[in-house]
Chain A
Amino acid sequence: MRRASLALRHVDAGSCNGCEHELTAATNPYYDLQQYGLNLVASPRHADVLLVTGAITTRMATALRIAYDAMPEPRLVAALGDCALGCGLLGEQTDLAGPLESLLPVDIRIPGCPPTPAAIADALLCALEPGRGLAPASASAVRAVR
Chain B
Amino acid sequence: MSAGRAAPAGPAWTIETQRVDAREWRDTCLHAAEGGERFLGLFGAARQAGGLEVRAVFASTHGQRIVVCTPERHRVDTLVDALPAAAWHEREAHDLYGVDFDGHEPLRPLLAHDRPLADWTVAARGRDVHQIAVGPIHAGVIESGHFRFHVVGERILHLDVQLFYKRRGLERAAVGQPLADGLAYAQRACAACAVANSVAYAQACESALGLAPGRETRRGRTLLLELERTYNHLHDLSAICAGVGFAPGTMAYAALKERVQRINAQLTGHRFLFGTVAVGRSDLSIDGPAASGARAELRTIRDEHITTWRQLQFVVSLQERLEGVGVLSREHAERLGAVGPAARAAGVRRDARTESPHLWYPGFEPLEPPLTTGDVASRMAIRAAELQQSLGLLDELLAHPLSSGTTGSIGRDHAMGVGIVESPRGETVCLLERDGANVRALHLRTASYANWPVVAHTVPGNLVPDFPLINKSFELCYACVDR
Residues of A bordering B, CB below 8 Å:
10-18, 20-25, 27-30, 40, 42-43, 54-55, 57, 59-60, 63, 67, 90-96, 113-114, 116-117
Contacts and interface: CB of A to CB of B under 8 A. Distances in A.
A12 B166 CA distance: 8
Contact of A91 (B170, B191, B235, B254): B170
Contacts of B191: 16-18, 21, 114
A57 B169 CA distance: 9
Contacts of A17: 143, 190-192, 477-479
A15 B143 contact: yes
Main secondary structure of the interface of B (DSSP, over half): loop
A67 B137 CA distance: 9
A114 B272 contact: yes
A92 B169 contact: yes
Interface residues of B, number: 39
Interface in B137-183: 137, 139-144, 164-170, 172-173
A24 B143 CA distance: 12
B287 interface: no
A55 B254 contact: no
Given A63-B136, A92-B169, A29 B188 contact: no
B184 interface: yes
A47 B149 CA distance: 27
A112 to B, nearest CB: 10
A10 to B, nearest CB: 5
B113 interface: yes
A59 B164 contact: yes
Contact of A55 (B168, B184, B255): B168
B200 to A, nearest CB: 16
Contacts of A20: 141-143
Interface in B220-245: 235
Interface of B: 113, 136-137, 139-144, 164-170, 172-173, 184-185, 188-192, 194, 235, 251, 254-255, 257-258, 261, 271-272, 274, 477-479
A30 B136 contact: no
Given A43-B139, A60-B136, A92-B172, A14 B166 contact: yes
A59 B165 contact: yes
A27 B258 CA distance: 11
A11 to B, nearest CB: 6
Report, nearest first, the 9 A-B pairs whose CB atoms are least far apart.
A92-B169, A18-B191, A91-B168, A95-B169, A28-B254, A42-B139, A16-B191, A12-B144, A14-B166
B168 A57 contact: yes
A24 B169 contact: no
Contacts of A117: 258
B468 to A, nearest CB: 12
Given A10-B141, A91-B173, A113 B274 contact: yes
Contacts of A57: 165-168
Nearest to A116: B271
Contacts of A114: 191, 272
Contacts of A25: 254, 257-258, 261
Contacts of B271: 22, 116
